[in-house]
Amino acid sequence: MRAVILISGRGSNMEALLRANLPVEFAAVISNRPQAGGLAIARSLGVETIALDHTVYGADRAAFDAALAAEIDRLRADLVCLAGFMRVLTDAFVQRYQGHMLNIHPALLPAFPGLDTHARALAAGVKIHGCTVHFVTPEVDAGPIVVQAAVPVLDDDTPERLAARVLAQEHRIYPMAVRWYAEGRLHLGADGRVRVDAPRLPESALISPNG
């Protein structure tokens, strides 16, 4: 199984994937921002990096996406992992990789799609927040959910503190999802729901606040 990881920034989820000893050959890490910190981390881990600067393509999203698809196909990737890739993709691009492209989102979808999820969760007063790995579909942050992890929201949380608590869980569940994909244990049903063949742990509930 060959995969590529698309990033735009620091690349901590990318690093979690690269370090997880997955049964996956990571063919390359591609960033739409040449300055992305994650590129140096990928290189230090021996992974090919490609900077595909979206600003070169101006407002022409289709041209950027075509160049991106050309790279992914040249690398013969079976799976595309979006990991902090901060760019909306065209429908044509998404459809080309549908069922073969995963994303990590820092909220419990369908709550809080889009940006600034942690500040919005605090403003809404939710007591439980978290993260989601999902298949990518044309509607942003709305594709079939693969796995979620929840964390408590604490009274003295700031967006930064909450983000750090969520990020630690992102680094756990993204490698899990990619492993299931690589092992053929992720099944996307015609109803758009995902089934995972994985051993079940004993049930437990996260109750927050739990005093």
Residues that bind ligand GRF (CB under 6 A): 7, 9-14, 83-84, 104-106, 167, 170
Nearer to ligand GRF by Cβ, of 77 and 162: the residue is: 162
Least separation, in Å, of the C-beta of 13 and ligand GRF? 3
Mark whether 129 is an active-site residue: no
Least separation, in Å, of the C-beta of 190 and ligand GRF? 28
Least separation, in Å, of the C-beta of 112 and ligand GRF? 11
In the complex, which residue's CB is closest to ligand GRF?
84
Nearer to ligand GRF by Cβ, of 66 and 144: the residue is: 144
* Catalytic residue chosen out of the listed positions 105, 129, 134, 171: 105
Nearer to ligand GRF by Cβ, of 63 and 165: the residue is: 165
Among 106, 86, 120, CA closest to 163: 106
Name 43's Cβ contacts closer than 8 Å, sequence gap at least 6.
49
Is the Cα dihedral 202, 145, 148, 97 positive or negative? positive
At 149, give phi and psi (nearest 5°). -130, 140
Contact 150, 168 (CB under 8 A): no
Intra-chain end-to-end CA distance of the chain, in Å? 46
> Which residues does the annotation mark as catalytic?
105
